[in-house]
Chains A and B, each alone.
Chain A
Amino acid sequence: MIRLDGVTKSYGGSIAVDDVSLTILPGRTTVLIGPSGSGKSTLLALIIGLELPDAGRIAVDEHPLTRLSALSLRRRMGYVVQDGGLFPHLTAQENICLMAKEIGWPPQRRRDRITELCALTRFPPTALGRYPVELSGGQRQRVSLMRALMLDPDVLLMDEPLGALDPMIRAELQDELKDIFGRLAKTVVLVTHDLSEAAFFSDAIILMHQGHVVQQGLFRDLIESPAEPFVGQFVHAQLRRLAMINERAMKIKKGRA
């Protein structure tokens, strides 16, 4: 369980996260959604300790997150960023194993875990020796996911993990990710600005706007009982786009028929 209590963070005068308190439940997939600049990525960075809050407290499994504890708490969490953040000078396998090696896992254990992860993420084991530049965008995200999962963390944090992929790969990876989340039953926090992706993944949704949590709950809550006008605007802007695309597609199909 991750608990935030009155967390505030600002960068040079502009407030990115403003007095946020929330609880992320274990074993579920929570999606942080909001327009760009709403503070959702900063919130994720605060949870993994990349940034320390100016005010407020963060606790991971009842352990308070501080400058000192961040190092050990990070190892209970996996983190995947938009472009994968793979180390370009290391092969896929070296990227995945880096931390396991650091903390002294024996080679056999590392090999076994990689075999498991390749099967889970459907990554071809023959490509493990390749460098990031030699991999496709989808493969890079799979390697990044394997790296995050290597030590079998309780928490998986993903910052727009599908944001940089082309639509075909994105759809394919969405299905796989959902399947993986279901099987692993980990606490997942996923940041996106895409409502359909949020609806697709989420057990719980947290909608952010200008550093504040605007609404927290299920996808249907956003539709049925928006907490304030912004929620309606945000939802409708995205739904209208989807509806328009749908409508045009139907027209074209009819025209052909």
Chain B
Amino acid sequence: MKPSCKSIVFIALLVAALAGPASTSANAANSGPEIRIGSKKFTESVILAEMAASLAASAGATVIHRQELGGTRLVWDALLAHEIDVYPEYAGTLAREILANEHVVDEQSLEGALAKRGLRVSRSLGFNDSYALGMMRQTAERLRISKISDLARHPSLRFGMSDEFLDRADGWPALHSAYGLSAPDVRGVDHDIAYKGLVDGAIDVIDLYTTDAEIGRYQIQVLEDDRRHFLDNEAVLIYRIDLEQSAPNALRAMLQLQGRIKDSAMVEMNGTVKFEQRTEADVAAQFVATNFGIANPTHNEGLAARLLRRTGEHLRLTLLSLAAAIAVALPLGVVAAWRPTFGHIILALVSIVQTIPSLALLVFMIPLLGIGALPAIAALFLYSLLPIVRNTASGIMNIPLSIHNSAVALGLTPMRRLRLIEIPLASPTILAGIKTAAVINVGTATLGALIGAGGYGQPILTGIRLDNFNLILEGAAPAALLALFVEGLFELAERRLVPRGLRLRPNRSA
């Protein structure tokens, strides 16, 4: 029939338009060897990665910065999986967290453990960023707390610890037993949000990184580590050894950072990004310019250009996954309607997929599909299956028996029946299913930014990290608008695709 032909052509065109060249955030002006730099989702890591990117680019490399990939484990896995070539790490984290099972005791054993994985670590970049505990100065003075051991006297204090710190062997569990803290109220909180909670008085004690700019800004008392529990944590670059062959100049340029960044400089740079609304790229470029005399023009994208790029990325995620889901879920729905036993199995499977938390599903995709847009599209595709399969099946199964029987009795073959009768009659329900999938997709796609897929989620993520409401809005507002736009689009599509006879009001004059 005409309507279904039209819709297929429409979708095919959209997909073709979107499957075109992907826009990754690369400053791909150079044509030298390609270097992919990763960073964790906190300011310092992004700044260090931007410095490395800027230095590598000055040595002629084509640099792709996969910003804010996630926590330690995710970025480390990406490095092992060749998804990235280099990222900023901390020597203590490497030895005591990532390689905790390998009994790394000194530099030699660390190098050995890394070499086995094809990795190498730089010397210290010059500053130390270790864990500490902190609380608001006022509260600390009121309760006469200045050392961590003082905390044991106040079991009613509320602790907000970053998730990574809670899990690390050398983090909360070790601290807890070293100081004999009597299991008080401990909650896992995102590090950037923990500061808000502390300032607002929702929690009393948080873990800190010693280079956090918030410490000075919010008048936070860093508690003295009187039992020398926290160890040094020198910033380093960790990279794949093969860079020494594939991009020796770029690597040498990046390693210029060794020993060049002082603690105070790092705290200041963190603060500039966090409180003066400057971008990490900006701050990094300034540092590189003053210290190495490399003027690397940062490409400052205007708001319109940024929005346009992210809209493109976001649409690409949403539409490709939706198109693939339609192509798979429609036939599955038809089969489910025709063979109810098999249908139960199909519906159970796609329902199970639906119950996997989106963040977990995204992370599951990384070993299979790497990082970037592809795993995000795959995850969104899986999420879109249920509403479409279910609505297609129920749309067909709810066709009145007399109509179904008439179609069979006329002598239509099953395939013709499907095309001429069942799909058109089920089309309002099917469209509603696709609409549900699309709207959910637009929202869920914002999480894609966590694994480097870009889109509207990127500014939301950065905004949460920097506690910058405007930046969050820059992602959240267009995402909401896009969802509304998709709703509207489907209202229009319904008018075009649902047969007229199904939209008429029954005639009561008979």
Interface, chain A (partner B; CB < 8 A): 45, 48-50, 71-72, 74-75, 77, 79, 81-91, 98-99, 102, 131-139, 144, 147, 157
Contacts and interface: CB of A to CB of B under 8 A. Distances in A.
A71 B413 contact: yes
A88 B405 contact: no
Contacts of B420: 98
List the 8 closest A-B pairs by CB distance, nearest first.
A136-B510, A85-B406, A89-B499, A131-B501, A79-B409, A85-B402, A75-B411, A74-B411
Given A49-B408, A133-B504, 20 more contacts: A48-B409, A50-B409, A71-B411, A74-B409, A75-B410, A77-B409, A79-B405, A79-B406, A83-B402, A87-B406, A87-B407, A87-B425, A87-B501, A90-B501, A132-B501, A133-B505, A136-B510, A138-B510, A144-B406, A147-B406
Interface of B: 400, 402-403, 405-413, 416, 420-421, 424-425, 499-502, 504-507, 509-510
Contact of B402 (A72, A82, A89): A82
Contacts of B507: 133-136
A77 B410 CA distance: 8
B421 A87 contact: yes
Contacts of A45: 405
B416 A102 contact: yes
A23 to B, nearest CB: 22
A250 B420 CA distance: 54
Contact of A86 (B406, B506, B510): B406
A86 B424 CA distance: 14
Given A71-B411, A81-B405, A88-B425, A139 B510 contact: yes
Nearest to B505: A133
Nearest to A91: B501
Nearest to A95: B406
Q: Which of B406, B408, B502, B505 has the most CB of A within 10 A?
A: B406
B479 to A, nearest CB: 36
A81 B406 contact: yes
Nearest to A139: B510
The B contact surface, by secondary structure, is helix
A125 to B, nearest CB: 18
B410 A99 contact: yes
Contacts of A49: 408
B363 to A, nearest CB: 45
A247 B413 CA distance: 53
Given A132-B501, A133-B501, A137-B510, A85 B413 contact: no
Contacts of B506: 133
Contacts of B411: 71-72, 74-75, 99
B502 to A, nearest CB: 5
Contacts of A157: 409
A135 B510 CA distance: 7
A132 B502 CA distance: 10
Contacts of B425: 87-89
B510 to A, nearest CB: 3
Contact of B504 (A81, A83, A102, A131): A131
A196 B448 CA distance: 71
Contacts of A139: 510
22 contacts: A48-B409, A50-B405, A71-B413, A74-B409, A74-B411, A77-B409, A79-B405, A79-B409, A82-B402, A85-B400, A85-B403, A85-B405, A87-B403, A87-B421, A87-B425, A88-B425, A88-B501, A89-B425, A89-B500, A91-B501, A131-B501, A144-B406
A50 B411 CA distance: 10
A138 B507 CA distance: 13
A102 B510 contact: no
Contacts of B409: 48, 50, 74, 77, 79, 157
Contacts of B403: 85-88
B398 to A, nearest CB: 13
Contacts of A75: 410-411
A66 to B, nearest CB: 15
Contacts of A81: 402, 405-406
A150 to B, nearest CB: 9
B408 A131 contact: no
Contacts of B405: 45, 50, 79, 81, 85
Given A50-B405, A133-B507, A89 B502 contact: yes
Contacts of B501: 87-91, 131-133
Contacts of A136: 507, 509-510
Contacts of B416: 102
Contacts of B421: 87
A89 B410 contact: no
